[in-house]
């Protein structure tokens, strides 16, 4: 793979990094600048031109309106990008790259990409990758209460076919000690200053040893793009992608939990039933890391504020997904939630994948329409109406019913 051009990373930068995420303060109303910022469109290596929220670290949006949320699989060159540190390796030599497996194990391992491809059974999963902060900006629009962090629309999500070796098989080759309780993972990037905490994620040993976690070396049948984590990315189907560590280089088996900024402060929500702030400040609550995704659907077509010619037949369509229980039904309303109809679910690509839905709409009468969609999964989890979603200061786990306005003329 080609040397990665650094040019795009060096310009004036808008750093919306982790350090600004969690200042301890009470919530203020939305500030005007949040709405006024119009991100530029930049072409990064291995990517089509993408809406660029920041170039250092790279934050690239899979923007709605580009027909990404009507497709079951998101193309690699349009897949969103999120990093926390500005110092990302721009070239990796596979001759010397090794995945280290160490800590509370019988044998430490140092695995090349060839080892991973030849010594372990290759497995595949089609799974949605969604940032915990996806759709965060809608919290502010609904409640007029700002949330911390990158103000993503529904553009920090995608679905891909991931291929690699099971994490479990790798851990078994190393031989996990009986005393092991946690597995920590981190990638190759470095903080700009030493004080910045490492992007380190942890999980319980039981979760790490389930069948479904994959150390992936392929995304949609190709090498993973650099910006999405070449050469290795940890895949945790059904789980928010904040733990899907990219450029994965170290797996550390641990007997004790290691406290860290990215596990215990960032990416946490109040540890109550609604995982939301009922009153007062977010930080008055005991916290827990976000984990399983919540049932969600997004309208991919038509784009918000479309103007449709009277007499057209519109294929209203989009995608739905959940934590892996499977989508049971997606309902649509064309009258702002007064009445609902069933949409048609398309091919099932597996329980962790996008489920496409569609609805043929005859645009017969001129006027303004509010389209809403609402998904239900097989265990009865249903998306909350926008007015009912619980708020949290980090702006995580937004999954209210999607709403767009269109006009028939
Ligand atoms: N090494 C590393 N892995 C990482 C991150 C990171 O900053 N460094 N960010 C995480 C977060 S918060 C998200 S949302 C996903 C984004 O994956 P993508 O850029 O491939 O879309 O990567 C995760 N893995
Ligand atoms: Mo994220």
Residue 11: its pLDDT value, please?
30
At residue 33's C-alpha, the angle toward residues 30 and 38, to 5°, is: 120
- For domain 2-289, say whether CATH 3.90.420.10 is its number: yes
Report the residue among 51, 127, 148, 244 best suited for mutation to probe ligand 1: largest number of ligand atoms under 8 A from its CB: 244
> For residue 57, what is the DSSP state?
T
What are the backbone angles phi and psi of residue 206, rounded to the nearest 5°? -65, -40
d(CA 217, CA 52): 26
Q: What are residue 140's phi and psi, to 5 degrees?
A: -70, -40
Supply the DSSP string of 289-326, one letter for each residue: E--B---EEEEEESPTT-EE-TT-EEEEEEEEE-SSS-
Cβ distance 216 to 236 under 8 Å?
no
Cβ contact 251:99 at 8 Å: yes
Rounded to the nearest integer, the mean pLDDT of the chain is 90
Q: Where are the domains of the chain?
A: 2-289, 296-408
Beta strands in 207-346 (DSSP E): 214-219, 222-223, 233-235, 248-254, 268-270, 287-289, 296-301, 307-308, 313-321, 327-333, 341-342, 344-345
Which of 209, 246, 216 lies closest to 82, judged by CA? 246
Name the stretches of the chain with pLDDT < 50: 1-32
Q: What is the pLDDT of residue 142?
A: 84
Q: What is the pLDDT of residues 26-80, one digit of tens each?
A: 444 444 455 567 889 999 999 999 999 998 899 999 988 778 999 999 999 999 9
Q: Which residues contact 236 (CB under 8 A, 6 or more apart)?
A: 203, 212, 213, 243, 244
CA of 82 relative to ligand 2 center, distance in Å: 6
Looking at residue 385, the DSSP 8-state letter turns out to be P
Please give the CATH number for the structural domain made up of 296-408: 2.60.40.650
Atom 19 of ligand 1: nearest residue by CA position: 81
Q: Is the CB of 80 under 6 A from ligand 1?
A: yes
Q: Kindly report the protein residue whose alpha carbon is nearest to atom 13 of ligand 1.
A: 242
Specify the residue for token string 């993973």. Answer: 224
Q: What confidence score (pLDDT) does residue 35 get? A: 55
Atom nearest to 60 CA in ligand 1: 19
Residues in a beta bridge with 408? 308, 367
**pLDDT score of 64:** 81
Given a contact cutoff of 8 angstroms between Cβ atoms, the answer to whether 177 and 103 are in contact is no
Give the integer Cα–Cα distance in Å for 370 and 240: 29
Q: CB-side exposure of 80: number of CA atoms within 13 Å?
A: 27
Q: Is the pTM of this model over 0.85?
A: yes
Distance of CA 259 to CAs 20, 87, 185, 347, Å?
19, 23, 13, 42
Give me Rg for the CA atoms of the chain: 21
Answer for the pair 305, 370: CB distance below 8 angstroms, yes or no.
no
Nearest of 70, 51, 54 to residue 62 by alpha carbon: 51
Which of 76, 82, 130, 397 should be mutated for ligand 1, with most atoms under 8 A from CB? 82
Q: Is the Cβ atom of 270 under 6 angstroms away from ligand 1?
A: no
CA of 135 to the centre of ligand 2 (A): 11
Q: Which residues pair with 403 in a beta bridge?
A: 372
Q: Could you tell me if 146 and 31 are in contact, meaning their C-beta atoms sit under 8 angstroms apart?
A: yes
Is residue 344 within 8 Å of 357, Cβ to Cβ? yes
By alpha-carbon position, which residue is closest to atom 23 of ligand 1? 242
Residue 289: CB atoms within 10 A of its CB come to 21
Nearest to 254 by CA among 157, 322, 181, 187: 181
In order, the DSSP letters of 95-121 are TT--EEEEESBSS-EEE-HHHHHHHS-
Ligand 1 atom at minimal distance to the Cα of residue 84 = 7
Of the candidates 237, 98, 224, the one whose C-alpha atom is nearest the C-alpha of residue 170 is 98
Q: Which protein residue has the closest C-alpha to ligand 1 atom 6?
A: 83
The Å distance, Cα 333 to ligand 1 centre, comes to: 34
- Estimate to the nearest angstrom the gap between the alpha carbon of 143 and the chain centroid: 23
Q: Rounded to the nearest whole angstrom, what is the distance from the C-alpha of residue 15 to the centroid of ligand 1?
A: 16
How many angstroms separate the alpha carbon of residue 235 from the centre of ligand 2? Answer: 14
Angstrom distance (rounded) from CA 214 to CA 79 = 19
């Amino acid at each position: 793979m080609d040397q990665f051009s650094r040019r795009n990373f060096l310009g004036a930068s808008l750093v919306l990094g982790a350090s600004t995420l969690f200042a301890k303060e009470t919530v203020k109303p939305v500030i005007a600048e949040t709405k006024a910022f119009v991100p530029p469109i930049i072409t990064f290596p291995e990517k089509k031109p993408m809406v660029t929220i920041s170039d250092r670290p790279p934050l690239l949006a899979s923007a709605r309106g580009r027909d990404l949320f009507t497709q079951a699989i998101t193309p690699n060159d349009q897949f969103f990008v999120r990093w926390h540190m500005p110092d990302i390796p721009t070239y990796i030599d596979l001759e010397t790259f090794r995945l280290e497996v160490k800590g509370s194990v019988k044998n430490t391992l140092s695995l090349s990409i060839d080892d991973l491809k030849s010594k372990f059974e290759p497995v595949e999963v089609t799974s949605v990758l969604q940032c915990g902060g996806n759709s965060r900006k809608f919290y502010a629009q609904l409640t007029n209460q700002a949330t911390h962090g990158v103000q993503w629309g529904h553009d920090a999500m995608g679905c891909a076919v991931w291929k690699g070796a099971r994490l479990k098989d790798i851990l078994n080759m190393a031989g996990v000690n009986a005393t092991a309780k946690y597995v920590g993972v981190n990638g190759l990037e470095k903080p700009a200053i030493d004080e910045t905490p490492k992007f380190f994620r942890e999980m319980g040993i039981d979760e790490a040893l389930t069948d479904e976690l994959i150390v992936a070396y392929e995304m949609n049948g190709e090498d993973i793009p650099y910006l999405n984590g070449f050469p290795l990315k940890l895949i945790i189907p059904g789980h928010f992608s904040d733990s899907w560590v990219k450029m994965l280089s170290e797996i550390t088996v641990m007997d004790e939990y290691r406290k860290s900024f990215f596990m215990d402060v960032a990416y946490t929500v109040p540890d109550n039933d609604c995982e939301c702030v009922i009153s007062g400040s977010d930080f008055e609550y005991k916290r827990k890391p976000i984990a399983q995704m919540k049932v969600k659907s997004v309208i991919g077509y038509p784009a918000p504020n479309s103007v449709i010619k009277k007499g057209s037949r519109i294929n209203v369509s989009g995608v739905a997904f959940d934590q892996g229980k499977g989508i049971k039904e997606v309902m649509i309303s064309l009258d702002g939630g007064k009445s609902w109809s069933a949409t048609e679910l398309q091919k099932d690509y597996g329980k962790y994948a996008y489920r496409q839905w569609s609805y043929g709409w005859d645009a017969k009468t001129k006027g303004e329409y509010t389209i809403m969609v609402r998904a239900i999964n097989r265990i009865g989890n249903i998306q909350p109406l926008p007015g009912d979603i619980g708020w949290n200061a980090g702006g995580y786990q937004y999954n209210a019913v999607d709403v767009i306005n269109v006009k028939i003329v």
